[in-house]
Amino acid sequence: MSESRDSLGQTAVFIESARDLELAEALTSAGSAVRRIDLRGDLSTAETREALSDARMVVDMTAIDHDAKRAAVSAFNSYAPSTASLVSFALTVSTTEIASWSTSPERVVGFGFLPPLADVKVLEVAPGLQTGEPARAAAQALAVALGKESALVSDGAGLVSARILAPIINEAAFSLMEGVATAQDIDTAVRLGVNYPHGPLEWADLIGVDLVYSIIRALHAEQGDDRYRPCPLLRKMVLAGWTGRAAGRGFFPYPR
C-alpha cells in the first residue's frame, strides 16, 4: 500500500469550505505534494496559476456552489497542463455536466464519498460519458493514495451512497417537521430499530446539512421525480446557517 500511496505527484485541490480540508490533509499526510486553492479567493493570481501549472492531478471538492465549481473547471482549463486530470466531487452534479464546462471533457472524472472521509471505506469513482482512461485511472489512484477501496459507478447526482442516504435523512427531516417524533427520538429509534451506525439527523449534522440539502435538491432536479422533493425544513436550516456540527448547530446543538 505505502508503495503506491505516494504515486500521485503534484496535486492541486480546490477547497470550497472547511469540510474539504480533510481530503487535502489526508493526501498530504499520505505523502503527496498538495497545493490548496481556496475557491472563495481570487483564481487569477500567480499563486493559483503556479499551483495548477505544476499539477499532475487537480481535485475539485466543490459541492454546494455551482458557480464556484464552474470557475474551478475554467481555471483547470486555462492553467493546468494538458496531461493533468480533473477529479471532481460529483454528488451534486453529474460528471458529464461538469465535463461539459471543460474544453477537454475527456480529462474530467467524477468521484464521491459521504464526509467525513475518515469514516468511509470506499471511494466511488464515476466516469462521465466522455471520460477518458487516464482520468479514470487518476481517480482510482486518488482512492489508493487515500487508503480507500474504489468502486466504479455510473455518474449522476448522489452516485450510490449519497443517493441512498440523502433520502433517508430527507425522510427523517420530514418526520421531524411533521411532528411525528422529536429529533432525539427519531435518531434513537433508527439506531436501535435498524442498527444504523448513526441516527439520520445526527448523521446529517456530521456530513453537513448544506451538503445533504444540495444532494437531495440535485436528485430532484436531475430525476424530475417528486420522490426526491427536498424537505422544506432542510432548506430553512441551510438559510439559518444551522448546517451541523461544524457550524455549532444543526438538528442538535454543539456548544463550543
Range 55-74, binding other proteins (CB under 8 A): none
Q: Pick from 142, 152, 193: which is nearest to 172 by CA? A: 193
Please tell me whether residue 1 binds other proteins under the rule CB under 8 A. no
By CB under 8 A, name the one of 160, 235, 247, 249 that touches other proteins.
160
Q: Report how many residues bind other proteins under the rule CB under 8 A.
A: 47
**Distance (Å, rounded) from C-alpha 23 to C-alpha 13?**
9
Residue 59's SS3 state is strand
Please tell me whether residue 224 binds other proteins under the rule CB under 8 A. no
Strands 122-127 and 108-112: antiparallel
Stretches 10-18, 33-41, 151-159, 238-246: which one binds other proteins (CB under 8 A)? 151-159
Q: Pick from 227, 97, 244: which is nearest to 164 by CA? A: 227
**Distance (Å, rounded) from C-alpha 185 to C-alpha 87?**
40
Binding marks (x or -) toward other proteins, 99..138, rule CB under 8 A? ---------------x----xxxx-x--------------
Q: Pick from 147, 112, 116, 115: which is nearest to 128 by CA? A: 112
Q: Pick from 120, 248, 230: which is nearest to 169 by CA? A: 230
Please tell me whether residue 146 binds other proteins under the rule CB under 8 A. no
By CB under 8 A, name the one of 175, 205, 237, 242 that touches other proteins.
175
Tell me the sheet residues that pair with 216: none
Measured from the CB atom, the residue of 168 and 247 that comes closer to other proteins is 168
Please tell me whether residue 230 binds other proteins under the rule CB under 8 A. no
List contacts with other proteins (CB under 8 A). 114, 119-122, 124, 149, 151-154, 156, 159-161, 163-165, 167-168, 170-172, 175, 178-182, 185-186, 188-190, 192-198, 200, 225-229
